[in-house]
């Protein structure tokens, strides 16, 4: 646990992890402090990059992106920055991680169809200069997926 955060900060973070739409007034009431204090603390947490952003969690299947895919890449390490820049521009890719182990880069994304997935992997990712090989899997069923850190909620 970060020592620069006190219990009030942790309580605020836990409340927002449970429901990001929790209003400051409700958190303030629970902590017996003013909503302005909550606002000030949140601004500090954002400034210190404890909170990176506020966002929503959209179910890709409900907007037509039924296929979740995992694509692992073997690359020429000297082309890493170039490859990452191109991957970042592929809108269907949601997660890009540089990894240790057998493969160099892990991408996770959503495709609208098998044809769309083929286009992403064969016509975009595989053609990036420095990508030597791709290994693509399709998610059959999700067992657990937390979009947020499991922060004692």
The band of 148, judged by pLDDT with boundaries at 50, 70 and 90, is: low
**pLDDT tens sequence across 96-144:** 999 999 999 999 999 999 999 999 999 999 999 999 999 999 999 988 8
User: Which domains occur in the chain, in start order?
Assistant: 7-47 (1.10.10.10), 60-138 (3.30.70.920)
Tell whether the model's pLDDT for residue 39 goes beyond 90: yes
Percent of the chain with pLDDT over 70: 93
The band of 53, judged by pLDDT with boundaries at 50, 70 and 90, is: confident
DSSP, residue by residue, 23-78:
-HHHHHHHHTS-HHHHHHHHHHHHHTTSS--------GGGGT--EEEEEEEEE-GG
Distance CA 87, CA 125 (A): 7
Q: What is the pLDDT of residue 153?
A: 44
Left, alpha or beta for 101 (phi > 0: left; psi -120 to 50: alpha)? Answer: left
Percent of the chain with pLDDT over 90: 75
CB 90 within 8 A of CB 109: yes
The band of 2, judged by pLDDT with boundaries at 50, 70 and 90, is: low
Tokens of residue 150, six digits: 């499991």
């Amino acid at each position: 646990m970060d020592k620069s955060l006190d219990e009030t900060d942790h309580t605020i973070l836990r409340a927002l992890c449970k429901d990001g739409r929790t209003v400051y007034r409700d958190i303030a009431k629970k902590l017996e402090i003013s909503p302005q204090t909550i606002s000030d603390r949140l601004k500090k947490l954002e400034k210190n990059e404890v909170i990176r952003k506020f966002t929503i969690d959209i179910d890709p299947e409900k907007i037509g992106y039924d296929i979740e895919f995992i694509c692992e890449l073997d690359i020429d390490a000297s082309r890493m920055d170039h490859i990452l820049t191109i991957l970042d521009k592929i809108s269907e890719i949601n997660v890009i991680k540089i990894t240790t182990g057998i493969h160099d880069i892990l991408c996770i994304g959503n495709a609208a169809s098998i044809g769309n997935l083929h286009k992403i992997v064969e016509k975009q990712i595989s053609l990036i200069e420095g990508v030597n090989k791709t290994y693509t899997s399709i998610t059959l069923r999700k067992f657990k997926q937390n979009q947020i850190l499991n922060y004692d909620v």
